[in-house]
Structure 1
């Protein structure tokens, strides 16, 4: 495990209280993207989508205005997991799939930190799947950025849990027979209180999602679709072309779900789910108006099912953002209640070691008998 510390060069930053970000201290002056740029050489393959995400995150953090010493980025294993080295903030390059577990400990013990997890589709959804779903279920106060390039990049091009059926890779020379995860469906199925998706090249959309994720109290899950030019080049190119308006369904809270170059498509209810139809074929009042704050998770889940493996339709933006008590707040409240109920005294540790729950073991007639410490 590698711990990356920030440089403290330059003006010392203040501890002005921040509003809306759970008491994380803010800087006492304006910041720039270069303030979050470490002295480490960025070592990704030329053309990797991670470069775009890194540049966007650096600029976003400057706008967010938090003190660098109160930012913590935790990563697992994979190309995306080099992220903490390239940010001048605190970071932990941890172990495969376990970043959410480490981030949980930080969120519980340090409420003054803004905790971020950076992971990939292989790291998070394969070996780390169990940790991911339980962090989402518990609603720990952290932001999870999942970079999805539909391939294992660092281990040189094996298929991943998000690779499409039939994908030919080094580990599937005849084509993958697996059914891939719909990443947002996984997050919403685990009852994520915040779930969103963005495209790496859509800097405006990514900034909007990052801002909403950072301000949300609880687990914020953000999938970022990005390119691996070496082992899965062009995986999302159809979403970047000039005719992508017929594929991208951009969510705007309170606005009707219409899309296309001339808003010629719409999203309506069909049975228990949602469907894409020509807007000319339905009335305006039949078109769904997006509500990210809807109480029922079924709506957000139905939205996630509109995104298909062939990328005919891909939904981006904030799917869901609702309030629910957080795990870390609950743990801290229990700890405070326990301290009030059982005050710490000079003999607390000794009483714990020799109290009524301890036993002595005497050997009697070659048999072992457990006798309470008080002799009763």
Structure 2
């Protein structure tokens, strides 16, 4: 931060609106994590915009004291793109859900990622349609019972992080609603210049309660999740296990670590610029492997809006704006009034 950076607190980012989610919803924890993180970033409410689509998560802009747009189903990336192109200096946050961003808005999510618009994309994943009363979503696990799958979903679930990598995302991360590490992930996303995609597992207390307890519950968290940090070995289970590269299959495998000697066990070191490793981490089948959390991939590239601004400057250099001349250019003609004689 410099002398011109505003100093804010949690209170500066809270609105006078009543926060209205179901009691116990994970969205409350995510909201507080974001509001606590924004002051750490030196963010300015007058320079910040939250954009959302449709869904429980999309109420988010009402509860952050900044500019905000509650847009239409799946189209938040299109609105966010327009905002960033109109004023590239703005900090743009995009809030969506697994239904909003991975179903009707899947194509828009793909394009904002491949274009690399400078924004933070927070995808709340509760593996269910919450706002429309509990139908299974694109990320619901096989066997999920719901009003639209009464005997259990047979769909193979989509992986938001794998989708993001496949779409060309240059930053991919994961967290969950009540994680103490979530602010650290949000800070990394903000520091990244370009489209920063963060999947946040979120507990839907009504329609998919405790869905993520298999890796978030205190009793199993150490064994069933791995916190990723650049330059550090891929260790979990209180550093008694690790992830190593299986050269025969070119995939990851779980190895035992004896006496803390992770190097002897062949444990790999996390490298956020290694795209191949990122793919392996997000595609690990949970159960046989831990859930990978933290910054998975972070390899910046030129942003979409910077390319557009440069193109505009190049094409308009030395020219004077003349709308009438522009409208009269090309295939135009005059309709004569034969009765004017």
TMscore range, shorter length: over 0.9
| Pair 1:287-2:267 in alignment | yes
| Pair 1:234-2:213 in alignment | no
Deviations 1:254-286 (A, max 9, x none): 01101103x111111122221223234985372
CA drift at 1:361: 6.8
The SS at the match of 1:286 is coil
CA drift at 1:338: 1.0
Moved more, 164-173 or 239-248: 239-248
Mapping 1:292-307, distance limit 5 Å = 292-294=272-274, 297-307=275-285
2:220 corresponds to which residue? 243
- 8 Å contact kept, 2:255–2:267: no
Mapping 1:16-165, distance limit 5 Å = 26-27=5-6, 30-165=7-142
- 8 Å contact kept, 2:53–2:73: yes
CA drift at 1:224: 0.6
- 8 Å contact kept, 1:72–1:115: yes
Mapping 1:176-187, distance limit 5 Å = 176-187=153-164
- 8 Å contact kept, 1:196–1:318: yes
Deviations 1:127-182 (A, max 9, x none): 00000011111100010000111111000100011100011111100110100011
Q: How many pairs align?
A: 332
Residue number among 341, 344, 352 corresponding to 2:326 in the alignment: 352
Moved more, 130-139 or 235-244: 235-244
- 8 Å contact kept, 2:233–2:262: no
Deviations 1:80-124 (A, max 9, x none): 000000111110000000001110111112112000000111000
1:275 corresponds to which residue? 253
CA drift at 1:312: 5.5
Give the ranges of 4+ consecutive aligned residues of structure 1 lying more than 3 Å apart after TM superposition.
280-283, 359-363
For 2:109 and 2:58, the matched residues in 1 are separated by: 15
The SS at the match of 1:160 is coil
For 1:191 and 1:125, the matched residues in 2 are separated by: 15
- 8 Å contact kept, 1:275–1:306: no
CA drift at 1:303: 1.0
- 8 Å contact kept, 1:307–1:315: no
1:10 corresponds to which residue? none
For 1:17 and 1:92, the matched residues in 2 are separated by: 29
CA drift at 1:226: 1.1
CA drift at 1:356: 4.2
1:374 corresponds to which residue? none
The SS at the match of 2:317 is helix
For 2:15 and 2:288, the matched residues in 1 are separated by: 36
Residue number among 205, 217, 228 corresponding to 2:193 in the alignment: 217
For 2:334 and 2:244, the matched residues in 1 are separated by: 70
| Pair 1:166-2:139 in alignment | no
The SS at the match of 1:143 is strand
For 1:211 and 1:354, the matched residues in 2 are separated by: 50
- 8 Å contact kept, 1:247–1:311: no
Structure number, greater radius of gyration: 1
What is the TM-score of this pair, normalised by structure 2? 0.92
For 2:313 and 2:87, the matched residues in 1 are separated by: 14
What is the TM-score of this pair, normalised by structure 1? 0.84
CA drift at 1:26: 3.2
- 8 Å contact kept, 1:44–1:50: yes
